[in-house]
Amino acid sequence: MAVVTGSNRGIGFEIAHQLASHGLTVVLTSRETRVGEEATKIMQEKGLNVVFHQLDIVDPASIETFSDWIKENYGGLDILINNAGVNFNFGTDNSVEYAETVIRTNYFGTKSMIKTMIPLMRPSPFGARIVNVTSRLGRLNGRRNRIANVSLRQQLEDNDSLSEELIDSTVNSFLEQVKNGTWESGGWPQVFTDYSLSKLAANAYTRLMARILSDQPEGHKIYMNCYCPGWVKTAMTDWAGHTSPEVAADTAVWLALISDQFVSGKFFAERREINF
């Protein structure tokens, strides 16, 4: 039983398709009901066990309604793929006009889904799985695209000092600078600044939660990882990517289904572990 957020098109649609092709029951979700139902119908016509439910990850009421529906109809879930996200910059653009929406969706929305779904993750000898679709643009120590503040970078990198409060304060500090017009001198990532920072926060939260969840008893383990799908030819990149959604979805599906090794709190690309 798998839930894939933002799965009416692009990478999310392909992740849902591949999971369903492995014989799983998959809940396809989208903000808009019509497009979600149309996407679900395509898979159902192929004989795949896919159902639809509306979900807006930035709306607490929507998440609560979805959670209640999952509980009532399935008793819980085994796999959560946090794919829903937004980006408003293309090419060489670096506008922060929609920074609040980007951070609210890609970080806070993802975080809300994780917190709400964790109590619903079903016991399993293989462990429940959470996979967060993030980006290399959110790496802490990327050569060209990283936070300039060395002290902050070190705090975010140190698992002992990493906290939800630190991650929240980092993104909120950026948003405050966006509002007062000082963000360009704030030492933030230079490429797609709002998107990069939202994914950096999601990466950090993955590490934090993996550490917290490591205390779960045997049979109730929850393994959480994140991965970069690459520069994918989808609407989010204005079709400028060079990777197909089919290839981009592969690592998410692999992390969700892998049963011969138990990894958590790691960052992957093309089935290989990479540095945060």
User: pLDDT tens digits for 202-213?
Assistant: 999 999 999 999
Can you list the positions of beta strands (E) in the chain? 2-4, 26-30, 50-54, 79-82, 128-133, 222-227, 267-269, 272-274
Residues whose CB falls within 8 Å of the CB of residue 4, separated by 6 or more in sequence, listed in order = 12, 15, 16, 19, 26, 27, 28, 29, 81, 83
pLDDT level of residue 51 (50, 70, 90 thresholds): very high
Query: Which residue has 């839930």 as its token pair?
Result: 3
Average pLDDT value for residue range 85-98: 95
Average pLDDT value for residue range 65-90: 97
Span 177-200, pLDDT tens digits: 999 999 999 999 999 999 999 999
Span 221-253, pLDDT tens digits: 999 999 999 976 665 555 466 788 899 999 999
Span 143-172, pLDDT tens digits: 889 999 999 999 999 999 999 999 999 999
Span 8-37, pLDDT tens digits: 999 999 999 999 999 999 999 999 999 999
Cα torsion 266, 132, 47, 239 to 10°: value is: -110
Assess whether 195 carries a catalytic annotation.
yes
Whole-number percent of the chain with pLDDT over 70: 96
Q: In the predicted model, is pLDDT for residue 7 greater than 70?
A: yes
Residue type, 170: T
Cα–Cα distance, 38 to 207 (Å, whole number): 35
The active-site residue, picked from 74, 98, 195, 205, is 195
Which residue, 203, 5, 171, is CA-closest to 86? 5
Q: What is the DSSP letter of 121?
A: B
Whole-number pLDDT of residue 29: 98
Q: In the predicted model, is pLDDT for residue 119 greater than 80?
A: yes
CA atoms 109, 115, 119, 124: torsion sign: positive
Q: What is the DSSP letter of 120?
A: G
**Which of 69-83, 100-114, 228-242 bottoms out in mean pLDDT, i.e. has the lowest?**
228-242
Domains of the chain (ranges; CATH) run 2-274 (3.40.50.720)
Characterize the bridge pairing of strands 267-269 and 272-274: antiparallel
SS3 content of the chain, % helix, strand, coil (to 5): 45, 15, 40
Whole-number pLDDT of residue 70: 98
Q: What is the DSSP letter of 77?
A: B
153 membership: H or E segment, kind and range: helix 150-157
Whole-number pLDDT of residue 241: 65
Whole-number pLDDT of residue 83: 98
Taking the complete model, does pTM exceed 0.75, yes or no?
yes
What value does the CA radius of gyration of the chain take, rounded to a whole number of Å?
Answer: 18
Cα–Cα distance, 170 to 188 (Å, whole number): 10
Whole-number pLDDT of residue 236: 57
Whole-number pLDDT of residue 237: 55
Which residue, 246, 244, 252, is CA-closest to 225? 252
* End-to-end Cα separation, the chain, in angstroms: 29
